[in-house]
Structure 1
Amino acid sequence: MRKLINVFFVAAGLVFTANMASAQQKLGHINSEEVFANLPEAKTAQSTLETLGKQKQADIDAMIKEYQTKMTSAQSLEKTLSEANKEAVGKQLQTVGQELQDLEKRINDARTKASQDIGAKQGELFQPIQAKVATAISAVAKEKGLAYVFDIANGQGGNNLVFWEGGDDITASVKTKLGISATATKAPAPKK
Protein backbone atom coordinates (compact mmCIF):
# COMPACT_ATOMS: atom_id res chain seq x y z
CA MET A 1 0.00 0.00 0.00
CA ARG A 2 2.85 2.32 0.84
CA LYS A 3 4.35 1.79 -2.67
CA LEU A 4 1.04 2.73 -4.23
CA ILE A 5 0.91 5.98 -2.26
CA ASN A 6 4.52 6.79 -3.26
CA VAL A 7 3.72 6.12 -6.93
CA PHE A 8 0.66 8.38 -6.63
CA PHE A 9 2.71 11.25 -5.17
CA VAL A 10 5.44 10.86 -7.78
CA ALA A 11 2.85 10.86 -10.58
CA ALA A 12 1.10 13.92 -9.08
CA GLY A 13 4.45 15.69 -8.81
CA LEU A 14 5.26 14.95 -12.45
CA VAL A 15 1.85 16.22 -13.58
CA PHE A 16 2.25 19.36 -11.46
CA THR A 17 5.77 19.96 -12.84
CA ALA A 18 4.58 19.44 -16.43
CA ASN A 19 1.72 21.92 -15.90
CA MET A 20 4.10 24.49 -14.42
CA ALA A 21 6.53 24.04 -17.32
CA SER A 22 3.81 24.46 -19.93
CA ALA A 23 2.42 27.51 -18.12
CA GLN A 24 5.81 29.17 -18.42
CA GLN A 25 6.12 28.76 -22.17
CA LYS A 26 6.45 32.13 -23.83
CA LEU A 27 4.55 33.09 -26.95
CA GLY A 28 5.57 35.53 -29.64
CA HIS A 29 4.14 36.88 -32.85
CA ILE A 30 5.50 38.28 -36.08
CA ASN A 31 4.06 40.12 -39.03
CA SER A 32 5.76 38.34 -41.94
CA GLU A 33 4.23 40.75 -44.47
CA GLU A 34 6.08 43.60 -42.81
CA VAL A 35 9.34 41.67 -42.90
CA PHE A 36 8.97 40.70 -46.56
CA ALA A 37 7.84 44.22 -47.53
CA ASN A 38 11.14 45.60 -46.25
CA LEU A 39 13.51 42.84 -47.30
CA PRO A 40 15.63 44.00 -50.27
CA GLU A 41 15.90 40.47 -51.70
CA ALA A 42 12.11 40.14 -51.67
CA LYS A 43 11.71 43.48 -53.44
CA THR A 44 14.23 42.41 -56.09
CA ALA A 45 12.52 39.04 -56.53
CA GLN A 46 9.11 40.70 -56.85
CA SER A 47 10.49 43.11 -59.44
CA THR A 48 11.98 40.19 -61.39
CA LEU A 49 8.62 38.38 -61.32
CA GLU A 50 6.79 41.49 -62.50
CA THR A 51 9.23 41.92 -65.38
CA LEU A 52 8.82 38.27 -66.37
CA GLY A 53 5.03 38.59 -66.14
CA LYS A 54 5.04 41.70 -68.36
CA GLN A 55 7.26 39.94 -70.91
CA LYS A 56 4.99 36.88 -71.01
CA GLN A 57 1.89 39.10 -71.27
CA ALA A 58 3.47 41.07 -74.14
CA ASP A 59 4.08 37.82 -76.03
CA ILE A 60 0.47 36.73 -75.44
CA ASP A 61 -0.84 40.17 -76.43
CA ALA A 62 1.09 39.94 -79.71
CA MET A 63 -0.57 36.60 -80.47
CA ILE A 64 -3.99 38.02 -79.56
CA LYS A 65 -3.39 40.96 -81.89
CA GLU A 66 -2.43 38.53 -84.66
CA TYR A 67 -5.61 36.54 -83.93
CA GLN A 68 -7.75 39.69 -84.09
CA THR A 69 -6.13 40.76 -87.37
CA LYS A 70 -6.77 37.35 -88.93
CA MET A 71 -10.33 37.36 -87.63
CA THR A 72 -10.99 40.79 -89.13
CA SER A 73 -9.43 39.62 -92.40
CA ALA A 74 -11.63 36.49 -92.39
CA GLN A 75 -14.74 38.58 -91.75
CA SER A 76 -13.83 40.89 -94.64
CA LEU A 77 -13.18 37.91 -96.89
CA GLU A 78 -16.53 36.41 -95.91
CA LYS A 79 -18.29 39.59 -97.03
CA THR A 80 -16.86 39.08 -100.55
CA LEU A 81 -18.36 35.58 -100.78
CA SER A 82 -20.64 35.16 -103.79
CA GLU A 83 -21.86 32.34 -106.05
CA ALA A 84 -19.12 33.14 -108.57
CA ASN A 85 -16.22 32.85 -106.13
CA LYS A 86 -17.83 30.46 -103.66
CA GLU A 87 -15.29 27.66 -104.15
CA ALA A 88 -12.11 29.79 -104.03
CA VAL A 89 -13.23 32.01 -101.15
CA GLY A 90 -14.66 28.98 -99.31
CA LYS A 91 -11.24 27.30 -99.38
CA GLN A 92 -9.58 30.50 -98.19
CA LEU A 93 -12.08 30.82 -95.35
CA GLN A 94 -11.51 27.22 -94.38
CA THR A 95 -7.74 27.77 -94.31
CA VAL A 96 -8.11 30.96 -92.25
CA GLY A 97 -10.50 29.16 -89.89
CA GLN A 98 -7.92 26.45 -89.28
CA GLU A 99 -5.22 29.10 -88.72
CA LEU A 100 -7.49 30.84 -86.20
CA GLN A 101 -8.07 27.58 -84.32
CA ASP A 102 -4.33 26.87 -84.27
CA LEU A 103 -3.60 30.40 -83.08
CA GLU A 104 -6.25 30.15 -80.36
CA LYS A 105 -4.64 26.92 -79.16
CA ARG A 106 -1.21 28.59 -79.17
CA ILE A 107 -2.58 31.48 -77.12
CA ASN A 108 -4.09 29.11 -74.54
CA ASP A 109 -0.88 27.07 -74.43
CA ALA A 110 1.17 30.27 -74.02
CA ARG A 111 -1.02 31.37 -71.10
CA THR A 112 -0.63 28.00 -69.40
CA LYS A 113 3.14 27.98 -70.00
CA ALA A 114 3.47 31.58 -68.76
CA SER A 115 1.62 30.70 -65.57
CA GLN A 116 3.86 27.67 -65.03
CA ASP A 117 7.03 29.66 -65.78
CA ILE A 118 6.07 32.43 -63.38
CA GLY A 119 5.18 29.91 -60.67
CA ALA A 120 8.49 28.11 -61.13
CA LYS A 121 10.42 31.38 -61.09
CA GLN A 122 8.54 32.49 -57.97
CA GLY A 123 9.51 29.28 -56.21
CA GLU A 124 13.10 29.62 -57.37
CA LEU A 125 13.37 33.22 -56.17
CA PHE A 126 11.36 33.14 -52.95
CA GLN A 127 12.31 29.74 -51.52
CA PRO A 128 15.79 30.89 -50.41
CA ILE A 129 14.32 34.15 -49.08
CA GLN A 130 11.69 32.26 -47.08
CA ALA A 131 14.40 29.97 -45.71
CA LYS A 132 16.48 33.00 -44.68
CA VAL A 133 13.49 34.60 -42.91
CA ALA A 134 12.60 31.30 -41.22
CA THR A 135 16.18 30.98 -39.96
CA ALA A 136 16.06 34.53 -38.58
CA ILE A 137 12.70 33.86 -36.89
CA SER A 138 14.07 30.69 -35.30
CA ALA A 139 17.19 32.49 -34.09
CA VAL A 140 15.20 35.36 -32.54
CA ALA A 141 12.71 32.94 -30.96
CA LYS A 142 15.55 30.98 -29.37
CA GLU A 143 17.25 34.18 -28.17
CA LYS A 144 14.02 35.31 -26.52
CA GLY A 145 13.17 31.86 -25.17
CA LEU A 146 9.89 31.61 -27.09
CA ALA A 147 8.12 28.29 -27.38
CA TYR A 148 5.73 29.41 -30.13
CA VAL A 149 5.66 32.21 -32.68
CA PHE A 150 2.46 33.06 -34.53
CA ASP A 151 2.35 34.89 -37.85
CA ILE A 152 -0.22 37.67 -37.60
CA ALA A 153 0.07 38.85 -41.22
CA ASN A 154 -3.30 39.53 -42.88
CA GLY A 155 -2.24 37.86 -46.13
CA GLN A 156 -1.56 34.52 -44.49
CA GLY A 157 -4.47 32.38 -45.58
CA GLY A 158 -4.10 29.99 -42.66
CA ASN A 159 -3.88 32.71 -40.00
CA ASN A 160 -6.04 31.41 -37.19
CA LEU A 161 -4.82 33.86 -34.57
CA VAL A 162 -7.65 36.31 -34.08
CA PHE A 163 -6.74 37.69 -30.68
CA TRP A 164 -3.64 38.11 -28.64
CA GLU A 165 -2.76 40.05 -25.61
CA GLY A 166 0.82 40.39 -24.64
CA GLY A 167 3.36 38.02 -26.01
CA ASP A 168 6.51 39.27 -27.64
CA ASP A 169 6.27 40.94 -31.04
CA ILE A 170 9.51 39.80 -32.65
CA THR A 171 8.94 41.52 -36.01
CA ALA A 172 11.47 44.29 -35.24
CA SER A 173 14.04 41.80 -33.94
CA VAL A 174 13.74 39.64 -37.06
CA LYS A 175 14.04 42.72 -39.27
CA THR A 176 17.18 43.71 -37.36
CA LYS A 177 18.58 40.17 -37.69
CA LEU A 178 18.00 40.44 -41.47
CA GLY A 179 19.62 43.88 -41.64
CA ILE A 180 16.37 45.78 -42.23
CA SER A 181 15.83 49.09 -40.48
CA ALA A 182 13.45 48.63 -37.56
CA THR A 183 11.66 51.83 -38.62
CA ALA A 184 11.06 50.63 -42.18
CA THR A 185 7.52 50.54 -43.54
CA LYS A 186 5.04 48.75 -41.36
CA ALA A 187 2.33 46.54 -42.82
CA PRO A 188 -1.22 47.22 -41.63
CA ALA A 189 -1.92 45.73 -38.23
CA PRO A 190 -4.22 42.72 -38.18
CA LYS A 191 -7.67 43.16 -36.69
CA LYS A 192 -8.08 41.83 -33.22
Structure 2
Amino acid sequence: MKKLFKVALIAGCMILLMGNFAKAQTKIGHIAFDQVVGLLPELATVKTQLAAYQKTWSDQLGTLNTEYQNKLNDYQSKQATMTDAVKSLKQAELTDLGKRFQEQQSNAQQQVDAKTNELSKPLIDKVRAAVTAVAKEKGYAYVLNSTQTDLLVSPDADDLMPAVKAKLGLK
Protein backbone atom coordinates (compact mmCIF):
# COMPACT_ATOMS: atom_id res chain seq x y z
CA MET A 1 0.00 0.00 0.00
CA LYS A 2 2.84 2.36 0.85
CA LYS A 3 4.51 1.61 -2.50
CA LEU A 4 1.28 2.39 -4.37
CA PHE A 5 0.97 5.69 -2.45
CA LYS A 6 4.58 6.62 -3.30
CA VAL A 7 4.10 5.80 -6.99
CA ALA A 8 0.89 7.84 -7.09
CA LEU A 9 2.60 10.75 -5.33
CA ILE A 10 5.55 10.69 -7.75
CA ALA A 11 3.20 10.46 -10.75
CA GLY A 12 1.18 13.40 -9.44
CA CYS A 13 4.33 15.51 -8.95
CA MET A 14 5.52 14.70 -12.46
CA ILE A 15 2.17 15.68 -13.95
CA LEU A 16 2.26 18.92 -11.95
CA LEU A 17 5.82 19.66 -13.12
CA MET A 18 4.95 18.94 -16.74
CA GLY A 19 1.97 21.32 -16.48
CA ASN A 20 4.20 24.07 -15.07
CA PHE A 21 6.76 23.49 -17.81
CA ALA A 22 4.08 23.88 -20.47
CA LYS A 23 2.89 27.06 -18.79
CA ALA A 24 6.43 28.45 -18.77
CA GLN A 25 6.47 28.53 -22.57
CA THR A 26 5.58 32.15 -23.31
CA LYS A 27 5.01 33.79 -26.63
CA ILE A 28 7.33 36.64 -27.57
CA GLY A 29 6.63 39.17 -30.29
CA HIS A 30 8.40 42.20 -31.67
CA ILE A 31 7.47 45.40 -33.45
CA ALA A 32 9.24 48.45 -34.84
CA PHE A 33 7.39 50.86 -32.55
CA ASP A 34 8.81 54.08 -34.01
CA GLN A 35 7.94 52.94 -37.50
CA VAL A 36 4.29 52.46 -36.53
CA VAL A 37 4.17 55.92 -34.92
CA GLY A 38 5.65 57.30 -38.15
CA LEU A 39 2.78 55.81 -40.15
CA LEU A 40 0.05 57.58 -38.18
CA PRO A 41 -1.70 60.31 -40.19
CA GLU A 42 -1.83 62.53 -37.07
CA LEU A 43 1.96 62.79 -37.18
CA ALA A 44 1.78 65.40 -39.97
CA THR A 45 -0.28 67.69 -37.73
CA VAL A 46 2.15 67.22 -34.86
CA LYS A 47 5.10 68.03 -37.12
CA THR A 48 3.38 71.21 -38.36
CA GLN A 49 2.64 72.34 -34.81
CA LEU A 50 6.21 71.64 -33.74
CA ALA A 51 7.64 73.55 -36.69
CA ALA A 52 5.52 76.60 -35.81
CA TYR A 53 6.56 76.37 -32.16
CA GLN A 54 10.24 76.04 -33.08
CA LYS A 55 9.94 79.06 -35.39
CA THR A 56 8.78 81.29 -32.54
CA TRP A 57 11.86 80.33 -30.52
CA SER A 58 14.07 80.67 -33.57
CA ASP A 59 12.74 84.17 -34.21
CA GLN A 60 13.41 85.20 -30.62
CA LEU A 61 16.94 83.82 -30.77
CA GLY A 62 17.50 85.54 -34.11
CA THR A 63 16.47 88.89 -32.64
CA LEU A 64 18.76 88.43 -29.66
CA ASN A 65 21.64 87.36 -31.91
CA THR A 66 21.13 90.40 -34.16
CA GLU A 67 21.21 92.67 -31.12
CA TYR A 68 24.44 91.02 -29.96
CA GLN A 69 26.07 91.31 -33.39
CA ASN A 70 25.09 94.98 -33.71
CA LYS A 71 26.52 95.82 -30.30
CA LEU A 72 29.66 93.83 -31.02
CA ASN A 73 30.19 95.61 -34.35
CA ASP A 74 29.56 98.96 -32.69
CA TYR A 75 32.07 98.12 -29.94
CA GLN A 76 34.71 96.96 -32.40
CA SER A 77 34.34 100.03 -34.61
CA LYS A 78 34.54 102.50 -31.71
CA GLN A 79 36.96 100.61 -29.48
CA ALA A 80 39.98 102.72 -30.42
CA THR A 81 38.31 105.96 -29.31
CA MET A 82 36.76 104.62 -26.08
CA THR A 83 38.10 105.29 -22.63
CA ASP A 84 39.04 102.33 -20.44
CA ALA A 85 35.90 102.79 -18.32
CA VAL A 86 33.61 102.79 -21.38
CA LYS A 87 35.45 99.76 -22.85
CA SER A 88 34.99 97.88 -19.61
CA LEU A 89 31.29 98.79 -19.51
CA LYS A 90 30.73 97.73 -23.15
CA GLN A 91 32.62 94.46 -22.64
CA ALA A 92 30.48 93.68 -19.59
CA GLU A 93 27.37 94.48 -21.62
CA LEU A 94 28.49 92.17 -24.44
CA THR A 95 29.33 89.40 -21.96
CA ASP A 96 25.92 89.77 -20.33
CA LEU A 97 24.16 89.71 -23.71
CA GLY A 98 26.14 86.61 -24.70
CA LYS A 99 25.12 84.84 -21.50
CA ARG A 100 21.46 85.82 -22.06
CA PHE A 101 21.67 84.39 -25.58
CA GLN A 102 23.09 81.08 -24.30
CA GLU A 103 20.45 80.87 -21.55
CA GLN A 104 17.71 81.64 -24.04
CA GLN A 105 19.07 79.02 -26.42
CA SER A 106 19.14 76.40 -23.66
CA ASN A 107 15.65 77.38 -22.52
CA ALA A 108 14.39 77.19 -26.09
CA GLN A 109 15.75 73.66 -26.49
CA GLN A 110 14.13 72.55 -23.23
CA GLN A 111 10.80 74.11 -24.23
CA VAL A 112 10.88 72.51 -27.69
CA ASP A 113 11.71 69.12 -26.15
CA ALA A 114 8.83 69.48 -23.69
CA LYS A 115 6.44 70.46 -26.49
CA THR A 116 7.62 67.52 -28.57
CA ASN A 117 6.90 65.15 -25.69
CA GLU A 118 3.52 66.78 -25.07
CA LEU A 119 2.41 66.51 -28.70
CA SER A 120 3.87 63.02 -29.24
CA LYS A 121 2.37 61.46 -26.11
CA PRO A 122 -1.13 60.87 -27.56
CA LEU A 123 0.38 59.17 -30.62
CA ILE A 124 2.64 56.98 -28.53
CA ASP A 125 -0.22 56.10 -26.19
CA LYS A 126 -2.42 55.19 -29.16
CA VAL A 127 0.19 52.84 -30.64
CA ARG A 128 1.02 51.38 -27.22
CA ALA A 129 -2.68 50.63 -26.64
CA ALA A 130 -2.92 48.92 -30.04
CA VAL A 131 0.19 46.83 -29.36
CA THR A 132 -1.16 45.87 -25.94
CA ALA A 133 -4.53 44.89 -27.44
CA VAL A 134 -2.95 42.78 -30.19
CA ALA A 135 -0.60 41.11 -27.69
CA LYS A 136 -3.54 40.27 -25.45
CA GLU A 137 -5.68 39.00 -28.33
CA LYS A 138 -2.91 36.78 -29.66
CA GLY A 139 -1.60 35.61 -26.28
CA TYR A 140 1.81 37.28 -26.25
CA ALA A 141 3.48 37.66 -22.87
CA TYR A 142 6.27 39.92 -24.12
CA VAL A 143 6.53 42.35 -27.01
CA LEU A 144 9.95 43.86 -27.74
CA ASN A 145 10.59 47.12 -29.54
CA SER A 146 12.79 45.88 -32.38
CA THR A 147 14.17 49.35 -33.14
CA GLN A 148 15.59 49.81 -29.63
CA THR A 149 16.53 46.32 -28.53
CA ASP A 150 20.19 45.39 -28.53
CA LEU A 151 19.75 41.69 -27.84
CA LEU A 152 22.54 39.68 -29.36
CA VAL A 153 20.78 36.38 -28.85
CA SER A 154 17.07 36.01 -28.40
CA PRO A 155 14.44 33.34 -28.94
CA ASP A 156 12.33 33.40 -32.07
CA ALA A 157 9.57 35.93 -31.92
CA ASP A 158 6.68 36.93 -34.12
CA ASP A 159 6.45 40.29 -35.89
CA LEU A 160 3.29 42.04 -34.70
CA MET A 161 3.58 44.89 -37.22
CA PRO A 162 0.85 43.66 -39.60
CA ALA A 163 -1.63 43.02 -36.78
CA VAL A 164 -0.99 46.39 -35.09
CA LYS A 165 -1.25 48.24 -38.41
CA ALA A 166 -4.58 46.53 -39.03
CA LYS A 167 -5.73 47.41 -35.50
CA LEU A 168 -4.89 51.09 -36.15
CA GLY A 169 -6.38 51.04 -39.64
CA LEU A 170 -3.04 51.72 -41.35
CA LYS A 171 -1.83 50.30 -44.65
Q: C-alpha distance in 2, partners of 1:117/1:6?
A: 69
Aligned pairs for 1:55-70 within 5 A: 55-70=56-71
**Aligned partner (choices 141, 147, 155) of residue 141 of structure 2:** 147
- Equivalence for 1:32: 33
More off after superposition, 161-170 vs 136-145: 161-170
Unaligned runs of 5+ in 1: 82-88, 182-192
Pick aligned residue for 2:109 from 115, 118, 139: 115
Higher relative contact order (CA 8 A, sep 6+): 2
Q: Map 1:28-177 to 2 at 5 A.
A: 28-81=29-82, 89-153=83-147, 156=148, 159-162=149-152, 167-177=157-167
CA 4–47 in structure 1, closer or farther in 2 if over 3 Å, else same: farther
Return 5+ residue gaps in structure 2 as ranges: none
For 1:70, the aligned partner's letter is: K
Provide the TM-score with structure 2 as the length reference: 0.83
Residue-by-residue CA offset, 1:100-126 (whole Å, 9 max, x unaligned) = 122112112111211221122122112
- Aligned structure 1 segments of 4 or more residues deviating by more than 6 angstroms: none
Distance 1:58 1:4 in 2: 84
> Is the helix fraction higher in 1 or 2?
2
| Sequence identity percentage | 32
Aligned equivalents of 1:121 and 1:38: distance in 2? 20
Q: TM-score, normalised by structure 1?
A: 0.75
- Give the CA RMSD over aligned residues: 2.4
